């Protein structure tokens, strides 16, 4: 009789809505600044390693759990991007050490072009000596250890907390795809689509004291150009630093959203990077000082993999490319011909989509350098609840272009694949393939259109 009554009570408790007080949060950080000269990633124009450190760079973790043992961890990094081999190693170690499934771990990169090269990401961009390559390999191995450590630190810091969400508006992102279809160049396009949304998660303790803030923006982290050789977080690094200066003891975390086709404007100097960072920090502070919506449980997570198909190509195509004078194309051709020699030409690439849902707020993480069309489409197709869409998550294997951008041509859909070491542009079904994975991930966490 008593056992039956307990079953009833437990069943009733599980059906009750969760409140903000049911959440626990842990926060951790670890320095990932390289300790020796290393090639900075993002610009093919750089022909030498870094020359010093302008600003320390970090990996930071935010762990969230509910009373039903739902757990997630968000990791932000001041890096160009994760590669799949690195993130898979981190995921495997985290699961082994902490029992956290891959679906529960989201790793986002700020895409600073003043951060160290990460192994297997944009490898075709560099002509390295064996010693220079070893520095990158060693950095990657150390990075895996540090990311596992920072996740463990957040999980070990779990305390009752309240999470609130609000939105602000950025000012300096501008669409960078300029010119007519077939002749699109990187420039300034004030009429092009951008997403100026600045989502803000505020984390406070039971005493009301601010512990952490997680915020995002959809703009390439490229205020600084390839003529600079100091390690730096760019505007995202300055924004985090400014928020932490304003709020001593607080951990500020930045997520890059769908900014694949947006650049900061103006750009080119450290002063401008700091200016953009401080303007973003000021907007985040304004949002935190206003009315925000409390985030409740339950905490849910989903992971969805799909395959993106490349447009048809031939061995002869890369044999011809190998004969040319473009060193980057020659590097790409060598890799493609090796695949042909093995009888396994590269025709597809794995693509990850991830969803975290806190009550009625969803954070969607998409791999690659995602253009703004995806964020605008996802928000339109899932309008009932708050949805935040981040690119540069878990794996950055290429630009992720929409059908519109693919048809227009230019750097993002075509030329960038040379530096990523991919065979060429995606097929025209790329957008629908990705949106299919997005919808499946959203359904898994209970989101309906």
Using one digit for the tens of pLDDT, what is the confidence trace for 126-163? 889 999 999 999 999 999 999 999 999 999 999 999 99
In a domain, 37, yes or no: yes
pLDDT value of residue 194: 98
Q: Helix or strand or coil: residue 318?
A: helix
Mean pLDDT of 291-320: 97
In a domain, 360, yes or no: no
For the chain, give the percent of residues with pLDDT over 90: 92
Of 47-51, 117-121, 425-429, the range with the lowest mean pLDDT is: 117-121
User: Residues 329, 223: one domain?
Assistant: no
Of 13-17, 47-51, 234-238, the range with the lowest mean pLDDT is: 13-17
Reply yes or no on whether the pLDDT at 10 is more than 80.
no
pLDDT bracket for residue 448 (50, 70, 90): confident
User: Residues 106, 227: one domain?
Assistant: yes
pLDDT value of residue 6: 42
Reply yes or no on whether the pLDDT at 120 is more than 90.
no
DSSP string, 213-232: EEEEE-S-S-SS-TT--EE-
pLDDT value of residue 278: 98
Q: How many structural domains does the chain have?
A: 2
User: Residues 236, 340: one domain?
Assistant: no
Reply yes or no on whether the pLDDT at 17 is more than 60.
no
- What distance in Å separates the CA atoms of residue 59 and residue 108, rounded to the nearest whole number? 10
pLDDT value of residue 7: 47
User: Residues 193, 323: one domain?
Assistant: no
pLDDT value of residue 83: 95
User: Residues 212, 102: one domain?
Assistant: yes
In a domain, 425, yes or no: no
Of 34-43, 113-122, 319-328, 430-439, the range with the lowest mean pLDDT is: 113-122
144 contacts 86 by C-beta, under 8 angstroms: yes
User: Residues 191, 324: one domain?
Assistant: no
Average pLDDT of the chain is 94
- What distance in Å separates the CA atoms of residue 48 and residue 126, rounded to the nearest whole number? 10
- What distance in Å separates the CA atoms of residue 88 and residue 60, rounded to the nearest whole number? 18
Reply yes or no on whether the pLDDT at 429 is more than 60.
yes
pLDDT value of residue 21: 61
Of 121-130, 165-174, 325-334, 369-378, the range with the lowest mean pLDDT is: 121-130
User: Residues 104, 191: one domain?
Assistant: yes
Q: How many Å from the N-terminal Cα to the C-terminal Cα in the chain?
A: 44
Reply yes or no on whether the pLDDT at 251 is more than 60.
yes
- What distance in Å separates the CA atoms of residue 395 and residue 393, rounded to the nearest whole number? 6
pLDDT value of residue 121: 80
User: Residues 243, 286: one domain?
Assistant: yes
In a domain, 10, yes or no: no
Reply yes or no on whether the pLDDT at 26 is more than 70.
yes
Residues in Cβ contact with 338 at an 8 Å cutoff, skipping those fewer than 6 apart:
none
Reply yes or no on whether the pLDDT at 166 is more than 90.
yes
In a domain, 47, yes or no: yes
Residue 129's Cβ-side half-sphere holds a number of Cα atoms within 13 Å equal to: 6
User: Residues 196, 335: one domain?
Assistant: no
pLDDT value of residue 13: 39
pLDDT value of residue 326: 94
pLDDT value of residue 20: 52
Mean pLDDT of 389-395: 98
- Report CA dihedral (331, 334, 336, 338) to the nearest 10 degrees: -150
User: Residues 31, 89: one domain?
Assistant: yes
CB atoms within 10 A of CB 100: 20
pLDDT value of residue 19: 52
- What distance in Å separates the CA atoms of residue 151 and residue 60, rounded to the nearest whole number? 8
Mean pLDDT of 411-418: 97
pLDDT value of residue 15: 40
Residues in Cβ contact with 4 at an 8 Å cutoff, skipping those fewer than 6 apart:
none
- Extended strands (E) in 122-249: 159-169, 173-175, 177-178, 185-186, 197-205, 210-217, 230-231
Q: 389 forms bridges with which residues in the sheet?
A: 364
Residues in Cβ contact with 191 at an 8 Å cutoff, skipping those fewer than 6 apart:
175
Reply yes or no on whether the pLDDT at 408 is more than 70.
yes
User: Residues 140, 248: one domain?
Assistant: yes
Distance of CA 184 to the CA centre of its chain: 25
In a domain, 436, yes or no: no
Residues 195-216 have pLDDT tens digits of 999 999 999 999 999 999 999 9
pLDDT value of residue 325: 95
Mean pLDDT of 67-77: 95
Residue (of 148, 150, 130, 149) closest to 138 by Cα position? 130
In Å, the largest CA–CA distance within the chain is: 83
- What distance in Å separates the CA atoms of residue 265 and residue 272, rounded to the nearest whole number? 9
Sign of CA dihedral 197, 171, 62, 372: positive
In a domain, 154, yes or no: yes
pLDDT value of residue 8: 40
In a domain, 156, yes or no: yes
pLDDT value of residue 119: 87
- Extended strands (E) in 257-385: 262-264, 293-295, 299-309, 348-358, 361-366, 369-370
User: Residues 380, 316: one domain?
Assistant: no
Domain limits for position 331: 311-346
- What distance in Å separates the CA atoms of residue 231 and residue 237, rounded to the nearest whole number? 11
Residues in Cβ contact with 130 at an 8 Å cutoff, skipping those fewer than 6 apart:
none
pLDDT bracket for residue 259 (50, 70, 90): very high
Mean pLDDT of 154-179: 98
């Amino acid at each position: 009789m008593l056992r039956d009554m307990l079953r009833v009570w437990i069943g009733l408790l599980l059906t009750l809505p969760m409140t903000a007080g049911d959440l626990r949060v842990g926060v951790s950080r670890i320095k990932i600044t390289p300790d020796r000269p290393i090639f900075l990633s993002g610009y093919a124009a750089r022909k030498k390693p870094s020359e010093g450190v302008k600003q320390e760079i970090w990996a930071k973790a935010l762990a969230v759990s509910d009373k039903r043992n739902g757990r997630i961890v968000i990791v932000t990094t001041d890096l160009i991007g994760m590669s799949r081999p690195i993130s898979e190693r981190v995921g495997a170690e985290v699961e082994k050490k902490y029992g956290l499934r891959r679906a529960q771990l989201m790793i986002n990169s700020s895409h600073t072009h003043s951060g160290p090269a990460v192994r297997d990401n944009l490898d075709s961009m560099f002509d390295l000596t064996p010693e220079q390559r070893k520095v990158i390999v060693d950095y990657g191995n150390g990075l895996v250890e540090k990311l596992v450590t920072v996740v463990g630190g957040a999980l070990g810091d779990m305390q009752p907390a309240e999470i609130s969400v609000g939105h602000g508006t950025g000012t300096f992102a501008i669409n960078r795809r300029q010119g007519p279809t077939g002749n699109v160049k990187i420039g300034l396009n004030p009429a092009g689509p951008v997403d100026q949304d600045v989502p803000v998660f505020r984390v406070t303790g039971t005493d009301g004291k601010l512990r952490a803030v997680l915020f995002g923006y959809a703009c390439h982290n490229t205020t600084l150009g390839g003529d600079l050789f100091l390690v730096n977080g760019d505007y995202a690094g300055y924004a985090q630093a400014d928020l932490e200066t304003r709020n001593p003891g607080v951990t500020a975390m930045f997520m890059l959203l769908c900014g694949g086709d947006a650049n900061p404007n103006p750009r080119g100097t450290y002063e401008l990077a700091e200016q953009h960072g401080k303007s973003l920090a000021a907007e985040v502070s304004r949002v935190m000082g206003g009315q925000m919506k409390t985030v409740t449980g339950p905490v849910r997570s989903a992971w969805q993999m799909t395959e993106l198909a490349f447009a048809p190509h031939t061995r002869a195509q890369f044999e011809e490319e190998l004969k040319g004078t473009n060193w980057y194309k020659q590097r790409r051709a060598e890799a493609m011909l090796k695949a042909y020699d093995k009888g396994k030409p590269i025709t597809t690439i794995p693509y990850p989509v991830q969803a975290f849902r806190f009550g009625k707020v969803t954070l969607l993480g998409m791999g690659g350098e995602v253009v703004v069309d995806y964020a605008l489409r996802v928000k339109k197709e899932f309008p009932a609840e708050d949805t935040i869409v981040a690119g540069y998550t878990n794996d950055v294997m290429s630009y992720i272009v929409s059908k519109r951008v693919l048809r227009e041509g230019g750097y993002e859909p075509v030329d960038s694949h040379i530096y990523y070491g991919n065979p060429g542009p995606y097929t025209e079904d790329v957008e629908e393939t990705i949106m299919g994975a997005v919808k499946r991930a959203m359904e898994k966490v209970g989101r309906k259109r």
